[in-house]
Chains A and B, each alone.
Chain A
Amino acid sequence: MPVKSYIAHPHDGKYQELLTELSMISACDIIASENEEIAIVITDTINAVEDEKIELQINSIKSLKMLSMVSGFETGQ
């Protein structure tokens, strides 16, 4: 059951768009920054397959410029 955290960077001027897009994905939590245009994304999935799917889904968001993973935990069953 992987738990992962990322930093998401938006394209210029697309920050709000990115936040709305991200918030539509139910398997991830978002912590938005108040003063810089980045957001922290935490994903919580049942297995590795789901996890890959989610990552793809996030990466397909148009307003996203870059997604960098910071940490990951495998919690076992």
Chain B
Amino acid sequence: MKRLFIIFLWIILMIATIVIWTYSYQSSHEEAYVPVSNLSETYIIPSEEGVFKRSEYALEYAEMPIDKKHQRNLNTYYKNRAFYGAPPSIPHAVAERNMGGNSCLKCHENGGYVDKYNAYAPVTPHPEKVNCRQCHVPQKTQSLFVATNWTRTTGAAVGNKALLTSPPIIPHQIQFRENCLSCHAGPGAPKEIRTTHPNRVNCRQCHVINDKNVSEIGVFKRATKE
């Protein structure tokens, strides 16, 4: 009886070994390729996220006196970017070991005057993304490793209007920058693009995006049958 049991146990173990081995052999031959659907992220319309985010400060913005001495201008604004639409670099010294949430955001979440830099801190349009230095880096040197043919593309000029009195269009892409007031209102905003009416809040009621860096849209054409 005891011998029979041991033989039985052996048979069980043998079968288990064969099954496991076969299974693992087969699964090792399965294709490592996982079908990926064609992710053509065609950009249709901008997200609405954060459209009204800073609107609670709109009235304060409207009532804020303009500090003419410490205004930023578009020139320095564009110069701080590698190209039109690139994340700006950090123009001041920063501690190496930090996370945005408890350092950068202290000044850049709501802005305000910083004596040390004799300027107003620009407000970030995306304070929820706290790993700031994923995209924003300081410039520790002005020299280059090797010379480059790269030239900066020009940014949009102010005054993009279709009619004399119509509201300017939005000439730039707005992903992560859906919140207009953070850059277009307050003392940290470049003076040329500071809105005269932050209290209107629903910006995209009048200003629509006409920038399509992906492809030229052109004018409307009917799809006629003929």
- Whether A and B touch directly in their complex, counting CB atoms under 8 A apart, is answered as yes
Query: What number of residue pairs across chains A and B have CB atoms under 8 A from each other?
Result: 3
- A33 nearest in chain B by CB position: B75
B73 beta carbon closer than 8 Å to chain A: yes
- Count of residues in B whose CB is under 8 Å from the partner chain: 2
- Count of residues in A whose CB is under 8 Å from the partner chain: 2
Give me the interface of B with A, judged by CB distance under 8 Å.
73, 75
Give me the interface of A with B, judged by CB distance under 8 Å.
35-36
- Closest A-B pairs by Cβ, 3 of them: A35-B75, A35-B73, A36-B75
CA distance A36 to B73 in the complex (A): 13
Set of chain A residues within 8 Å of B75, measured between Cβ atoms:
35-36
- A36 nearest in chain B by CB position: B75
Set of chain B residues within 8 Å of A36, measured between Cβ atoms:
75
User: What would 3 A/B residue contacts be, using CB atoms closer than 8 Å?
Assistant: A35-B73, A35-B75, A36-B75
Distance from B143 Cβ to chain A, minimum over Cβ atoms (Å): 24
CA distance A38 to B75 in the complex (A): 14
Distance from B49 Cβ to chain A, minimum over Cβ atoms (Å): 35
